[in-house]
Amino acid sequence: MKAVVMDEFGGPGVLHVAERELPEPGAGQVRVRVRASGVNPFDGKVRSGRMQQMFTTELPAVLGLEISGVVDAVGSGVEGLAAGDEVLGHAEGGGYAEYALATTVAPKPDGLGWAEAAALPVAAETALRVLDLLGVARGDTVLVHGAAGAVGTVAVQIAAARGATVVGTASEANHDYLRELGATPVVYGEGLIDRVRAVAPDGVDAVFDVAGQGALPDSIELRGGTSRIATIADPEAYRLGVTFSGASARDAGELAELARQAADGRLRLTVARTYPLEEAPAAHASVDTGHGRGKIVLLAG
Ligand SMILES: NC(=O)c1ccc[n+]([C@@H]2O[C@H](COP(=O)([O-])OP(=O)(O)OC[C@H]3O[C@@H](n4cnc5c(N)ncnc54)[C@H](OP(=O)(O)O)[C@@H]3O)[C@@H](O)[C@H]2O)c1
């Protein structure tokens, strides 16, 4: 099969298409004929070699955390899934390929496109995990840093659907987009505290830092302490006593529910751009900029 392989760490140019052996599904796994694979900033961090101390990757490697496609083989102990099922889910061992293995998958509803489906698993798991951790509920005012990106897009909508008032930071170019998602937009950077207070005069009840771009001190000031603040991307959290949330258990049922919502239009999924597998370097160069609106997706056929 064709896969996007990296033999060394470095810039986007280390990614290239090569032949790999077809992976065999182990116990509990399915093999999926991949149609689309989401590209995450995490992939770029692994590719650069910066993650090696925390998360060791052996080379050669195939990146890619999330996929949509058609089940093609089923490992032992798998129930309720069969060859031919259209699914989306979390890839194990590399999603940027024609075939990938997965354990947590959900049915892909007919009304959901392949690219949109591949944009959902990581954003859904992350957004639900952190909003639950923060206890976001009706009546809360939630500040989301980096609200227009792939995770932010889903987090804003789930928070708003729970009945929270959402304030989201983004560059000016993404402000109309944030309004459409249900958030009040503010520009990030110098002067943020005043801008947030202007739109949320009664204060902020919780802060979800998706961006990881240095907004934790301002967040602590806005909250009057470190409670109900969580980041998924800023290691300064450890020094400041703020909660850092990493990946945790995945839930196929929750993924299935959000996929249904996306298919019937209750949850908007934004695919910023698609690229064929051969153009993985360009896809990574785009994600590396850190200024996406929604998700970059690779199409595998
Ligand atoms: N720990 C976990 O479990 C976990 C899970 C998923 C993702 N992550 C991490 O979370 C981060 C976001 O992921 P993503 O997929 O949502 O990324 P993304 O799609 O690339 O979005 C990043 C967003 O950050 C915004 N941004 C850039 N500079 C900013 C700043 N100084 N202040 C506030 N916002 C800024 C950008 O908005 P503009 O375009 O408007 O500038 C962009 O929309 C990444 O670092 C990723 O690795 C962690």
Q: Find the helix packing angle between 121-133 and 150-161, rounded to 10°.
A: 50
The pLDDT of residue 170 is above 90:
yes
The pLDDT of residue 2 is above 90:
yes
Instruction: Kindly report, residue by residue over 112-144, the tens digit of the pLDDT.
Output: 999 999 999 999 999 999 999 999 999 999 999
The pLDDT of residue 45 is above 90:
yes
The reply to whether 30 and 133 lie within a common domain is no
The reply to whether 65 and 137 lie within a common domain is no
Minimum mean pLDDT among 124-138, 237-251, 253-267: which range? Answer: 237-251
Count how many domains the chain has.
Answer: 2
The pLDDT of residue 248 is above 90:
no
Whether residue 154 contacts residue 178, with contact meaning beta carbons closer than 8 Å, is answered with no
State in Å: Cα 83 to ligand 1 middle. 35
Percent with pLDDT over 70 in the chain: 100
- Residue 82: the pLDDT is 97
Please indicate, yes or no, if residue 262 is contained in any of the structural domains.
no
- Cβ of 227 closer than 6 Å to ligand 1, yes or no, is no
Instruction: Kindly report, residue by residue over 176-203, the tens digit of the pLDDT.
Output: 999 999 999 999 999 999 999 999 999 9
- Cβ of 151 closer than 6 Å to ligand 1, yes or no, is yes
The pLDDT of residue 249 is above 90:
no
Q: Which domain holds residue 209?
A: 124-244
Q: What is the mean pLDDT of residues 85-102?
A: 97
Residue nearest to atom 18 of ligand 1 (CA): 149
Smallest CA-to-CA distance from 110 within 273, 268, 264 is with 264
- Cβ of 131 closer than 6 Å to ligand 1, yes or no, is no
| Bridge partners (DSSP) listed for residue 149 | 294
- Residue 55: the pLDDT is 86
The reply to whether 26 and 115 lie within a common domain is yes
CA 79, 265, 290, 200: dihedral to nearest 10 degrees?
-120
The pLDDT of residue 206 is above 90:
yes
- Residue 54: the pLDDT is 86
Minimum mean pLDDT among 207-211, 225-229, 247-251, 267-271: which range? Answer: 247-251
- Cβ of 46 closer than 6 Å to ligand 1, yes or no, is no
Q: What is the mean pLDDT of residues 41-64?
A: 95
Q: How far apart are CA 226 and CA 232, in angstroms?
A: 15
Residue nearest to atom 5 of ligand 1 (CA): 126
- Residue 301: the pLDDT is 79
Question: Residue 31 maps to which CATH number?
Answer: 3.90.180.10
Residue nearest to atom 48 of ligand 1 (CA): 232
- Cβ of 212 closer than 6 Å to ligand 1, yes or no, is yes
**Average per-residue pLDDT in the chain?**
97
Percent with pLDDT over 90 in the chain: 97
Please indicate, yes or no, if residue 250 is contained in any of the structural domains.
no
What's phi and psi for 176, nearest 5 deg? -65, -40
Question: Residue 194 maps to which CATH number?
Answer: 3.40.50.720
**Last residue of one domain, picked from the residues 226, 244, 262:** 244
pTM of the model: 0.97
- Cβ of 40 closer than 6 Å to ligand 1, yes or no, is yes
Please indicate, yes or no, if residue 254 is contained in any of the structural domains.
no
- Cβ of 112 closer than 6 Å to ligand 1, yes or no, is no
- 244 CA closest ligand 1 atom index: 1
Residue 40 to residues 162, 228, 284, 292, Cα–Cα distance (Å): 26, 26, 9, 10
Instruction: Kindly report, residue by residue over 290-301, the tens digit of the pLDDT.
Output: 998 999 999 997
Largest CA distance in the chain: 58
Residue 275 to residues 165, 203, 281, 286, Cα–Cα distance (Å): 35, 42, 10, 11
The reply to whether 40 and 91 lie within a common domain is yes
**Last residue of one domain, picked from the residues 244, 261, 283:** 244
Minimum mean pLDDT among 9-13, 51-55, 115-119, 270-274: which range? Answer: 51-55
Please indicate, yes or no, if residue 265 is contained in any of the structural domains.
no
Residues 6 or more apart whose Cβ sits within 8 Å of residue 124: 154, 254, 255, 258
Candidate of 47, 65, 157, 188 to mutate for ligand 1, largest count of ligand atoms within 8 Å of Cβ: 188
The pLDDT of residue 154 is above 90:
yes
